[in-house]
Amino acid sequence: MNGERVGAVTFKGHPLTVLGEPVKVGDKAPEFTVIDNDLNVRCLRDYAGKVKLIAAVPSLDTGVCDAETRRWNQVASELSDDVVILTISADLPFAQKRWCGAAGVDRVITLSDHRDMSFALSYGTYVKELRLEQRAVFIIDKEDVIRYVEYVPEIAQHPDYEAALETLREVLKG
Protein backbone atom coordinates (compact mmCIF):
# COMPACT_ATOMS: atom_id res chain seq x y z
CA MET A 1 0.00 0.00 0.00
CA ASN A 2 1.24 3.48 -0.83
CA GLY A 3 2.37 5.37 2.25
CA GLU A 4 2.93 2.27 4.37
CA ARG A 5 5.60 3.11 6.96
CA VAL A 6 6.75 0.06 8.91
CA GLY A 7 8.00 0.94 12.39
CA ALA A 8 6.86 4.59 12.16
CA VAL A 9 5.33 4.34 15.62
CA THR A 10 5.71 2.06 18.61
CA PHE A 11 3.23 0.88 21.22
CA LYS A 12 4.99 0.10 24.49
CA GLY A 13 8.18 -0.35 22.49
CA HIS A 14 6.72 -2.68 19.83
CA PRO A 15 7.01 -1.29 16.27
CA LEU A 16 3.81 -0.82 14.27
CA THR A 17 2.94 0.19 10.71
CA VAL A 18 1.40 3.56 9.87
CA LEU A 19 -0.59 4.11 6.68
CA GLY A 20 -0.90 7.38 4.80
CA GLU A 21 1.70 9.94 3.84
CA PRO A 22 2.76 12.25 6.67
CA VAL A 23 1.95 15.93 6.19
CA LYS A 24 4.55 18.68 6.61
CA VAL A 25 4.63 22.28 7.75
CA GLY A 26 3.77 24.47 4.77
CA ASP A 27 1.51 21.85 3.13
CA LYS A 28 -2.08 22.69 2.27
CA ALA A 29 -4.15 20.81 4.87
CA PRO A 30 -5.80 17.77 3.27
CA GLU A 31 -9.58 17.53 3.34
CA PHE A 32 -11.12 14.70 5.36
CA THR A 33 -14.53 13.45 6.49
CA VAL A 34 -15.34 12.37 10.03
CA ILE A 35 -18.49 11.95 12.14
CA ASP A 36 -19.48 14.23 15.03
CA ASN A 37 -21.17 13.12 18.26
CA ASP A 38 -24.61 13.56 16.68
CA LEU A 39 -23.68 11.39 13.65
CA ASN A 40 -23.31 14.34 11.27
CA VAL A 41 -20.56 14.25 8.66
CA ARG A 42 -17.92 16.91 9.29
CA CYS A 43 -14.95 17.95 7.19
CA LEU A 44 -12.09 20.44 7.32
CA ARG A 45 -14.05 23.11 5.44
CA ASP A 46 -16.67 23.13 8.24
CA TYR A 47 -14.05 24.99 10.28
CA ALA A 48 -13.07 27.48 7.56
CA GLY A 49 -11.78 30.84 8.76
CA LYS A 50 -10.61 29.42 12.09
CA VAL A 51 -7.21 28.40 13.33
CA LYS A 52 -7.46 24.68 13.96
CA LEU A 53 -5.55 22.60 16.49
CA ILE A 54 -6.20 18.96 15.62
CA ALA A 55 -5.17 16.27 18.07
CA ALA A 56 -5.28 12.71 16.73
CA VAL A 57 -5.52 10.19 19.57
CA PRO A 58 -5.83 6.39 19.68
CA SER A 59 -8.83 6.25 22.09
CA LEU A 60 -10.39 8.64 24.58
CA ASP A 61 -10.87 5.66 26.93
CA THR A 62 -7.13 5.41 27.67
CA GLY A 63 -5.16 7.31 30.27
CA VAL A 64 -2.90 9.39 28.04
CA CYS A 65 -5.68 10.29 25.56
CA ASP A 66 -8.01 11.19 28.45
CA ALA A 67 -5.38 13.46 30.03
CA GLU A 68 -4.41 14.98 26.68
CA THR A 69 -7.98 15.83 25.69
CA ARG A 70 -8.72 17.30 29.13
CA ARG A 71 -5.59 19.47 28.75
CA TRP A 72 -6.67 20.71 25.30
CA ASN A 73 -10.12 21.44 26.76
CA GLN A 74 -8.50 23.64 29.42
CA VAL A 75 -6.40 25.37 26.76
CA ALA A 76 -9.53 25.95 24.67
CA SER A 77 -11.16 27.83 27.54
CA GLU A 78 -8.28 30.34 27.40
CA LEU A 79 -8.42 30.97 23.63
CA SER A 80 -10.44 33.28 21.42
CA ASP A 81 -13.28 32.19 19.17
CA ASP A 82 -10.77 32.33 16.28
CA VAL A 83 -9.50 28.89 17.37
CA VAL A 84 -11.19 25.50 17.31
CA ILE A 85 -9.68 22.41 18.91
CA LEU A 86 -10.65 19.09 17.34
CA THR A 87 -9.78 15.71 18.83
CA ILE A 88 -10.07 12.90 16.31
CA SER A 89 -10.06 9.20 17.18
CA ALA A 90 -11.46 5.96 15.80
CA ASP A 91 -13.78 5.71 18.81
CA LEU A 92 -17.47 5.45 17.94
CA PRO A 93 -19.36 8.76 18.17
CA PHE A 94 -21.53 7.33 20.98
CA ALA A 95 -18.43 6.53 23.05
CA GLN A 96 -17.00 9.99 22.39
CA LYS A 97 -20.23 11.67 23.50
CA ARG A 98 -20.38 9.54 26.66
CA TRP A 99 -16.72 10.25 27.44
CA CYS A 100 -17.14 14.04 26.96
CA GLY A 101 -20.13 14.06 29.31
CA ALA A 102 -18.33 12.04 31.98
CA ALA A 103 -15.11 14.10 31.64
CA GLY A 104 -16.83 17.49 31.51
CA VAL A 105 -15.11 18.23 28.18
CA ASP A 106 -17.20 20.93 26.55
CA ARG A 107 -14.78 23.05 24.51
CA VAL A 108 -12.93 20.44 22.47
CA ILE A 109 -14.91 19.02 19.56
CA THR A 110 -14.50 15.24 19.41
CA LEU A 111 -14.83 13.65 15.99
CA SER A 112 -14.89 10.00 14.98
CA ASP A 113 -12.80 8.60 12.13
CA HIS A 114 -14.14 5.06 12.63
CA ARG A 115 -16.19 4.86 9.43
CA ASP A 116 -13.52 5.11 6.74
CA MET A 117 -10.38 6.41 8.52
CA SER A 118 -10.37 9.37 6.13
CA PHE A 119 -8.48 11.67 8.47
CA ALA A 120 -5.96 8.97 9.37
CA LEU A 121 -5.19 8.18 5.74
CA SER A 122 -5.05 11.86 4.71
CA TYR A 123 -2.73 12.89 7.57
CA GLY A 124 -0.64 9.70 7.86
CA THR A 125 -1.87 8.58 11.30
CA TYR A 126 -3.55 5.22 10.52
CA VAL A 127 -1.99 2.52 12.72
CA LYS A 128 -2.57 -0.55 10.56
CA GLU A 129 -2.31 -3.29 13.19
CA LEU A 130 -4.67 -1.58 15.65
CA ARG A 131 -6.98 0.38 13.28
CA LEU A 132 -6.43 3.40 15.50
CA GLU A 133 -4.91 6.85 15.08
CA GLN A 134 -1.26 7.52 15.84
CA ARG A 135 -1.03 10.26 18.45
CA ALA A 136 -0.29 13.49 16.57
CA VAL A 137 -0.90 17.23 16.78
CA PHE A 138 -1.46 19.57 13.84
CA ILE A 139 -1.99 23.32 13.78
CA ILE A 140 -3.66 24.67 10.66
CA ASP A 141 -4.01 28.40 10.03
CA LYS A 142 -7.09 30.24 8.75
CA GLU A 143 -5.96 29.69 5.14
CA ASP A 144 -5.71 25.91 5.77
CA VAL A 145 -1.91 25.84 5.68
CA ILE A 146 -0.28 23.45 8.12
CA ARG A 147 1.86 25.42 10.55
CA TYR A 148 2.80 22.70 13.08
CA VAL A 149 3.13 18.93 12.94
CA GLU A 150 4.08 16.45 15.66
CA TYR A 151 3.82 12.71 15.15
CA VAL A 152 4.39 11.22 18.59
CA PRO A 153 6.71 8.22 18.02
CA GLU A 154 5.39 6.18 20.97
CA ILE A 155 1.61 5.83 21.27
CA ALA A 156 1.74 5.81 25.09
CA GLN A 157 3.56 9.18 25.29
CA HIS A 158 2.12 12.68 25.51
CA PRO A 159 2.69 15.22 22.73
CA ASP A 160 4.86 18.30 23.28
CA TYR A 161 2.10 20.61 24.51
CA GLU A 162 4.35 23.63 24.95
CA ALA A 163 5.78 23.48 21.41
CA ALA A 164 2.26 23.23 19.97
CA LEU A 165 1.00 26.10 22.11
CA GLU A 166 3.98 28.28 21.17
CA THR A 167 3.19 27.78 17.48
CA LEU A 168 -0.50 28.37 18.11
CA ARG A 169 0.29 31.72 19.77
CA GLU A 170 2.51 32.70 16.83
CA VAL A 171 -0.21 31.81 14.31
CA LEU A 172 -2.76 33.85 16.24
CA LYS A 173 -0.47 36.89 16.25
CA GLY A 174 -0.38 36.70 12.47
Ramachandran angles phi, psi of 23, nearest 5°: -90, 160
For residue 123, give the 3-state DSSP assignment: helix
Tally Cβ neighbours within 10 Å of residue 173. Answer: 6
Annotated catalytic residue, options 29, 55, 56, 65: 65
Q: How many CA atoms lie within 13 A of 20 on its CB side?
A: 24
Distance of CA 68 to the CA centre of its chain: 11
* Known catalytic membership, residue 65: yes
C-alpha to C-alpha distance for 157 and 103, rounded to whole angstroms: 20
Catalytic residues: 65
